[in-house]
Structure 1
């Protein structure tokens, strides 16, 4: 019985030594010099918490895909508690597709400068029942200028517009997008382009238009070219959860590619990234290319199609109409391949330049000790140290996050990676040496005790 108790005590002691080893490892505190890249930060607003949107050019200096090697240090070289907010890839379950009503907007044929004025009849909840021109138009004078979409039943931010129209109006459809909550005051949401073409007896269609991720009760689509508005047959709006609006996209610099055979181009990304969008440079006017975009994590894996569409740069009415972006799912990729249907003329022998976009990463840190503060990253051995926001900020909520102070990378955000990690000065670290000596002696002592206990004959009970 006594031997059993002694062995139990021995197990507890071993666990204690293991804990001492963990504490020893923690005592070897990280220093800014352990990281290849160090960037000064500028802070403003109310602390002690500061939030920093990490530029893509900075993130590309990390050596770990999950950004486990990102740190913030104060002027004394002490690490700061921080949290990383990295948005997960979007899934279809987070989005809702809604069919909406559409109403024609007419104007006088010679009045293309002003938006059509209308009188409306709506229900108690704001849904449109009828839309009519505000003044009577003579027969033959009216011109279909655009469409009014009723999104009053959608309470979430609008992310994408999907249109279909009669086949009598093939070609490119270009229009402006405006949003309103009261049908009186309109805010520009930019331009939209859709297309339906016949290419070598095949139909090439583009129906989707990206929206800015904001809420609105009504959308107004106006065609700028006279007699160009088509008759819609379907209008849908895709919306997302209002609880967490997406962080903005961060675009890369142009990336050079290569081409091993005609109509196929590949690009190597600096690291595995959650790419959400790519932009292909179309330098030559009147370029038209149906394409399939494939991706993979590394060269040992097969290519997987991730997007397709129609890329073009065409001259219409003296100006270029460009569609050069493709949307991805946001899954991690490191290699991209574009396959072009060359019946549209192709994109040339040389691979076009490509830019990619990822969702911005936000870092929040708790300022402790003297400034200025430094962002450090670029270590293959550093362990992830990010805390949940709810732990970093007591009583955390989205409203509180918006009131935090702001931090930004110093200067012109030029990153100057150190060629190799800075080595510590040569000499004896007596504190670390002493800790290791104590640990070694403890292990030897426990080993001797275990040997003694195992040799001792069991006591008679």
Structure 2
């Protein structure tokens, strides 16, 4: 009996979940709305959410943001926090090369050399370790000086005299001290002529690691060509700061000298703050604290030296502090008064949060409206890879763009819309859904009573 009851309750819960999924959000459920203008090619559109728009949300994680079409139907959407970007830069560098000789009797063994290098490790001279008689020396390969390149090596480009046409095969080894060598595999270049056609291959891929020196040893002794050019392509990756969205300056309060507090409009993941230093020649060692509400203790976010100094007739200032990105709604700055302080009146403070993009799939007729401000809304955003089946970072940049219209776009949902909804009469669809739910619960209750009245089976 308990098993049947459990199944019945499970069915009721499933029915509730299904009914909740059917019920859709309506524009009137949200406090603030703003029209959107679209440009570019759809059906996906990307919207950079301004900070004044974000502050209209009722929940810090933006679970109450929606986009509606002209019929009031919610659109499928995804939220994307803008991350720090990386930039790859490739450089092609001419390098010095030095011949590696050995005796004809040495065979395939690596030639021993005596080197002379500068103070920074740059090679000046490379000579055989033992003196070779005239006619005994055999060119085995080349030593490349890459000590001036501080980035991973991606490609080797060689050129050589025309006396050595055909395929040129060699091994590649890398070292930082000219004593210990690591194999980087084999390389091959070629120069082929046939009738009036000419085919050349000068590039050899490298493993993308750093090394100060490269040693190229030809597989067959006495087959090494005379080089006329050696170049190394390297790549370096640099991080670009993550895009931040700055607020308007906030006024603060000061309860005592050297202590200033600010109240943010809502709990936000603050990444940076900027203090307005009004007076020249201000010097203030400071510590920044934060918390979510007044019932919690202050937590140290960062400390540093704030200053605004006049040098050579120009202002030089450091008025920003980085914040670890945790959610705060109150900020406090304490200043060491021995540096002169910031005055009795609290300075204004601007804060920055990481930019957020909203991507939506336009369905139905426009115009489209952005809506925020519903404390009871549940998260409805999809992952980007679900919203855009062939998603890639490059694909995201190519989407059409949406913008919030006007300088002060967001306006509260008007009472007129609500009154119109009431005049239109009751929502029979919602009433019908609740009626079905009620009948399901009554049927479940009847089944439970029937099972309880049934006499227990005799053993």
- Check whether TM > 0.5: yes
Residue 293 of structure 1: CA displacement?
1.0
Please, which of 255, 262, 269 is the counterpart of residue 267 of structure 1?
Answer: 262
- Aligned partners of 1:26 and 1:67: how far apart in 2? 19
- Does the alignment pair 1:437 with 2:432? no
- Does the alignment pair 1:398 with 2:393? yes
Maintained 8 Å contact 1:87/1:246: no
1:425 alignment partner in structure 2:
422
Please, which of 39, 46, 49 is the counterpart of residue 44 of structure 1?
Answer: 39
1:340 alignment partner in structure 2:
335
* Number of equivalenced pairs: 322
Give unmatched runs, 5+ long, in structure 1: 96-119, 132-149, 156-238
Residue 255 of structure 1: CA displacement?
0.2
2:317 alignment partner in structure 1:
322
- Aligned partners of 2:330 and 2:415: how far apart in 1? 27
1:59 alignment partner in structure 2:
54
Bigger CA radius of gyration: 2
What TM-score do you get using the length of structure 1 for normalisation?
Answer: 0.64
Maintained 8 Å contact 2:82/2:243: no
Please, which of 50, 56, 73 is the counterpart of residue 68 of structure 2?
Answer: 73
1:308-341 C-alpha deviation (Å, 9 max, x unpaired): 1111122222221122111111111111111111
- Aligned partners of 1:409 and 1:154: how far apart in 2? 44
Maintained 8 Å contact 2:272/2:323: yes
1:308 alignment partner in structure 2:
303
- Aligned partners of 2:330 and 2:414: how far apart in 1? 26
- Aligned partners of 1:14 and 1:421: how far apart in 2? 42
Give the secondary structure class of the aligned counterpart of 1:425: helix
Matches within 5 A, 1:238-277: 247-277=242-272
- Aligned partners of 1:336 and 1:319: how far apart in 2? 31
Matches within 5 A, 1:64-103: 64-86=59-81
- Aligned partners of 2:149 and 2:37: how far apart in 1? 42
Maintained 8 Å contact 2:35/2:409: no
Please, which of 447, 450, 457 is the counterpart of residue 448 of structure 2?
Answer: 450
Give unmatched runs, 5+ long, in structure 2: 87-92, 98-118, 123-147, 154-235
Give the secondary structure class of the aligned counterpart of 2:251: coil
Maintained 8 Å contact 1:123/1:129: no
Please, which of 284, 287, 291 is the counterpart of residue 289 of structure 1?
Answer: 284
Residue 122 of structure 1: CA displacement?
6.3
Maintained 8 Å contact 2:82/2:357: no
1:206 alignment partner in structure 2:
none
Give the secondary structure class of the aligned counterpart of 2:412: coil
- Aligned partners of 2:402 and 2:302: how far apart in 1? 36
Maintained 8 Å contact 1:36/1:421: no
